[in-house]
Structure 1
Amino acid sequence: MKKIGDFYQSGDWKGEKHVPVIHAPEKVKKGDLIEVNINIGEEIPHPNTQEHYIAWIKLFFHPEGGNFPVEIGSYNFSSHGEHGAFTEPYVTARFKAEKSGTLHATSYCNIHGLWENSVELKVED
């Protein structure tokens, strides 16, 4: 039996329109507010139609030494052309961290499935 993690795909976001692009500082000070921007299709635009769209993006933070990641946010995109309204797969999240760790972004395309990307975050005293 497959595990959910077996379905996640990744790649270079500059050549693959489904990979979540994570913009976050490389280094922050302990206790500072961290702003993270995530989008899908930064280099190659992802279609945003009723037939082909990004349904959601999730952001997790896995602190060094932690047993599991913490969900920072879950963002749903509900309008895919109804009455001419189209949501864009772009989110901004803000949080504080006391330890260095890894930011993980996941997303879901209704046609091409689950995608992931990650970046390291250094927290200094």
Structure 2
Amino acid sequence: MSNLTSTVQSGDWKNEKHVPVIKAPESVKKDEAFLVTVVVGEEIAHPNTFEHYIKWIKLFFKPDSGKFPIEVATVAFDSHGESGVFTSYCADVMLKVQESGELMAMSYCNIHGLWENSATLKCE
């Protein structure tokens, strides 16, 4: 029997269209809002068709003093060409933190499964 973590994939987002790219400042000030953008298909566009699409992106933050990540946001992409409407796989989230930690993102492709990436965040 496999566990969920054994099915999560990662890779170099410059060469793999499924990996979520986290765009955030390297350093932030405690209690000051900052923007985090998570994009799937940054270098190589991911398809957006009825047959092949990204269903959602999730953003988490794991504080250095915490044992578990905190789910910060989930963005669902529900339009894959219906009536000519398409979504871009991009999520913008404003956030404040109390301490340094790790930003973690996960995306789900309906054909290729779960993908992850992370970025270190320093809080001054």
Q: Name the TM-score, length of structure 2 as normaliser.
A: 0.98
Q: 1:94 is matched by which residue type in structure 2?
A: M
Deviation at 1:2, TM superposition (A): 1.2
Give the aligned partner of residue 40 of structure 1.
40
Q: Deviations over 1:35-74 (max 9, x none)?
A: 1001101101111111110000000000002011111101
CA distance in 1, matches of 2:9, 2:33: 30
CA distance in 1, matches of 2:42, 2:15: 10
1:97-112 → structure 2 map (5 Å cutoff): 97-112=97-112
Pairwise CA RMSD: 0.6
Aligned to 2:97, what secondary structure does the other structure show? Answer: coil
Identity across matched positions, percent: 58
Aligned residues: 124
Give the aligned partner of residue 85 of structure 2.
85
Give the aligned partner of residue 14 of structure 1.
14
CA distance in 2, matches of 1:113, 1:67: 26
Give the aligned partner of residue 69 of structure 1.
69
Deviation at 1:13, TM superposition (A): 0.2
Q: Name the TM-score, length of structure 1 as normaliser.
A: 0.97
Aligned to 1:52, what secondary structure does the other structure show? Answer: coil
Deviation at 1:30, TM superposition (A): 0.7
Deviation at 1:76, TM superposition (A): 0.4
The list of structure 1 runs, each at least 4 consecutive aligned residues, that deviate by more than 4 angstroms after superposition, is: none
Unpaired runs of 5+ residues, structure 1, are: none
Unpaired runs of 5+ residues, structure 2, are: none
